[in-house]
C-alpha cells in the first residue's frame, strides 16, 4: 500500500509539472502576439529640399504622402505581420541611438530618413539616416516598408 501511495504521488507531481509547462509556454506565445498587436503604426519619413515622402503603415493600410499628395492602398495581413514582427526584434528605446552608416544627406546627396514606431501609446523615432542606407539594426524593417510601399530601394 505504501508503494502505491508513493507511485500515485509521483504520478500526480509529474502531471502537475507538465501542465504548468504548457501554461507557461502558452502564456509566452500569447505575450508575443500581444507585443505585436501593440504596434499602432510604423512610419518612414524621407525628405530633402523640395521633396518630402512619408509612408505610414497601419494594420490593413499603407498611406503614402509625396509632397503633400496623399494616396492609400491596402496592406495584407501577412505584410503587417512581417512589419510588426520586425519591430518586436528591436529594442525600441534604443533606436534613436543607432548610428547612420553614411552622411550624404548633409549635402543633399540623399534624402534624410527617419523611422517612427508607435507602440502602446508611445512614439519611438530613429536618428536620421540616408535614404537607402539605414543603420544595420533597422535594415530589414526599412526594406520591408519600402517593399510594402512599392518603392524598393537598394539598401547598400
DSSP structure string for 116-152: EEEETTEEEEPPPEETTB--GGGHHHHHHHHHHHT--
Q: Is 100 left (phi over 0), alpha (psi -120 to 50) or beta?
A: beta
* Alpha helical stretches, state H, the chain: 2-37, 77-88, 139-149
Which pLDDT belongs to residue 38? Answer: 85
Residue 35: which pLDDT band, with cuts at 50, 70 and 90?
very low
Q: What's the whole-model pTM score? A: 0.73
Structural domain spans, the chain: 42-149
| Higher-scoring residue by pLDDT: 35, 87 | 87
Q: How many Å apart are CA 117 and CA 41, to the nearest integer?
A: 6
* pLDDT > 70 fraction of the chain, expressed in percent and rounded: 73
Which pLDDT belongs to residue 156? Answer: 41
Per-residue pLDDT reduced to its tens digit, 108-155: 899 999 999 999 999 999 999 999 999 999 999 999 999 998 875 544
Amino acid at each position: 500500500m505504501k508503494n502505491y501511495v508513493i507511485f500515485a504521488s509521483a504520478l500526480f507531481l509529474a502531471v502537475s509539472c507538465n501542465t504548468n509547462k504548457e501554461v507557461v509556454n502558452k502564456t509566452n506565445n500569447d505575450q508575443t502576439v500581444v507585443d505585436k498587436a501593440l504596434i499602432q503604426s510604423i512610419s518612414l519619413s524621407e525628405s530633402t529640399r523640395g521633396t518630402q515622402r512619408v509612408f505610414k503603415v497601419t494594420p490593413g493600410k499603407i498611406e503614402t504622402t509625396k509632397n503633400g499628395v496623399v494616396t492609400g492602398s491596402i496592406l495584407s495581413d501577412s505584410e503587417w505581420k512581417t512589419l510588426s514582427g520586425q519591430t518586436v526584434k528591436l529594442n525600441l528605446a534604443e533606436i534613436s541611438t543607432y548610428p547612420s552608416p553614411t552622411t550624404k544627406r548633409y549635402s543633399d546627396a540623399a534624402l534624410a530618413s527617419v523611422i517612427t514606431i508607435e507602440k502602446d501609446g508611445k512614439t519611438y523615432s530613429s536618428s536620421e539616416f540616408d535614404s537607402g542606407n539605414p543603420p544595420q539594426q533597422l535594415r530589414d524593417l526599412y526594406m520591408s516598408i519600402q517593399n510594402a510601399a512599392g518603392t524598393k530601394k537598394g539598401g547598400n
